[in-house]
Each structure stands twice: as C-alpha cells, then as structure tokens.
Amino acid sequence: MQIKIDSDSGFCFGVTGAIKKAEEELKKGELYCLGDIVHNGLEVERLSRLGLQTINYEEFAQLHNVRVLLRAHGEPPATYLTAKQNDIDIIDASCPVVKRLQERIRKAYLANTNAQIVLFGKPGHAEVIGLQGQTDNTAIVIEKIEEREKIDFEKDIYLFSQTTKSVEQFMSLVHLISEQPNVKSGKIHFLWHDTICRNVAGRVNKLKQFAKENDVIVFVGGNKSSNAKVLFDNCLQVNPRSYFVADYDVLTAEWLQENNISLTDTIGICGATSTPHWLMEKCKERLENIKETK
C-alpha cells in the first residue's frame, strides 16, 4: 500500500490569508470570528483552542466595542453597517478575489436596476449572501441549471458565478440562457461573467489526474464545504474508488476491509481548498500505522 498526498490540495490563498490574519490578531487580544473561519470543523476547533470565538449573526448584532474578523467568503454591506453602529472593529480577511467580485456585482446592479442579476451559486452559502447583499438582496440565485424557470426571460440578464462553482456547469447555464428566443433575437441583453476562481478551477484537472493515478482516493473535506463536494465529484468521475472522509479517525482496518482496499493498492490523499494540510498528513499517518500493524 503506497500512500501519497496530493501536493496541489489544501488551502487556497484566500483561506490561508484569513487564517494567518486570525493567528496574528489573536496575539493582540480577544478576537471574534463571524461564522466558521473555514468549512472545516477540525480547523475551526484548532483556532478555537488558540482563542478564536466563533459567533453567529444574532450574537454579532449584540456585541459592542470588540474586534471581529470577517472570513475569506466576504460579507454583505449590512454586516459593515452593524459593525459601524456597534463600534465593532472589523478585521477584514475577505479574500481579494471575492471582494473584486462583490464590487463588479454592485457596479452591474447600479448600472441597470431593471436587469436581473443572476448568481450561479448555492443559496445560503456565506459567499453568496455577501454577493446578494451587493444587489440589496434582489439577485436571483440558481444552484442547478434545472432552476432556470426562476429567470424572467423578458428582462435583461447579468449572470455571475460564486467563485467555487464548476466551470462546466456554469458554461452549460450560459449556453442554455443563450438559446432562449428573446436572448437569441436580441430582444433582451444577456451579459455573463465567468467569475469562478481559477485557484479552484485550475485544480480540477490536476486533481482528476491524481485520482486516475491512484487505485483508491481518500478525499478529506468538511461536510459543509461546497468546494469539497465539487472536487470530490470530480474524483469520483474518474475513479469510482474515491471516498469522502471528514476526519482521520474513520480510517481503520475495518474501513479498509469494508471498502475492499488491500495492501497492494496505491492510495492518494487529497482535499479541498478548505482542507488543512495537517489533516491530510494525519490521514496518511493513520493509514501507515494500519499498514505497519498488518
């Protein structure tokens, strides 16, 4: 059983930046974080041991004169307004890529208030909430192309994407909208912007290659991470022996047996942009220990 970790997996620069900022700011004193800093429960726990206090929106609204870190996903304008009203010192760790996307959406919204802003993304996802906020929450959110009936094909359409969506699915949506009679005839304007972060999209091909090169894939990701789901699906497409694990403790001799994984298999460990490297290392260590006791 050969075990290796994918060198291209792990935190993207947006998440790395937010965590680094949290670690630095924690040295200066009490620090809150609005929502989980990353969609990985074990990393949240690690930072909580360092003192980072995760709060929800209700708790945030009750706080005054404290320091609150905003995570890489970004926040809607309402969050900054609350902070101002409550004298909260914001430590803004929003990813610069998300910030730029927020600005583009705001600009498009203000430029043509009759157009529909359509966001290809997951409803309720923190980044999507931040993006919707740029349109005073009027943007239409579409998670799957089957939801196209949410769009009014009598009005202009400006389409953007959440940064972690699949490029393939986004392009299918673009194609579908382009084929609508009113779009084809030019009766309505359709402007689309591929705003998928290449830090994620660029990983897909490399990850697929990695998944093909190994007999078995152990994909390590948080259950709440949409990026993890997208990347895991890509592994599954090319390697049906791909398994999603949230923690290393599920990796036992019984688990290997249940999944018909033998000592002759090569195992590739990989993860999402929210998967800490130390967690993939722990998975590797765990599998190596099982191997040694066999």
Q: Could you give the residue numbers annotated as active site?
A: 127
By CB under 6 A, tell whether 273 contacts ligand SF4.
Answer: yes
**Using CB under 6 A, which of 3, 5, 12, 126 touches ligand SF4?**
12
What is the distance between the alpha carbons of residues 128 and 139, in angstroms, rounded to a whole number?
10
Nearer to ligand SF4, 219 or 248 (CB): 219
Contact code string over 160-189 relative to ligand SF4, x by CB under 6 A: ---xx-------------------------
Q: Which is nearer to ligand SF4, 203 or 286 (CB)?
A: 203
* Cβ-contact 239, 231 below 8 angstroms: no
**C-alpha span between 60 and 113 (Å, rounded):** 31
Instruction: Give the whole-angstrom CA distance, residue 117 versus residue 150.
Output: 12
Residue 195 is a binding residue for ligand SF4 (CB under 6 A): no
The stretch near ligand SF4 (CB under 6 A) out of 108-116, 177-185, 196-204, 253-261 is 196-204
Contact characters 29-68, ligand SF4, x per CB under 6 A: ----------------------------------------
Which residues, at least 6 apart from 283, have a Cβ–Cβ distance to it below 8 Å? 218, 220, 245, 248, 251, 269
**123-152 residues near ligand SF4, rule: CB under 6 A:** none
- The residues near 130 (Cβ < 8 Å, ≥ 6 apart) are 73, 74, 75, 76, 94, 98, 102
The residues, ordered by sequence, that sit 6+ positions from 53 with a Cβ below 8 Å of its Cβ are 30, 31, 32, 33
Rule CB under 6 A: is residue 204 a binding residue for ligand SF4? no
Footprint of ligand SF4 (CB under 6 A):
12-15, 72, 95, 97-98, 163-164, 197, 199-200, 273
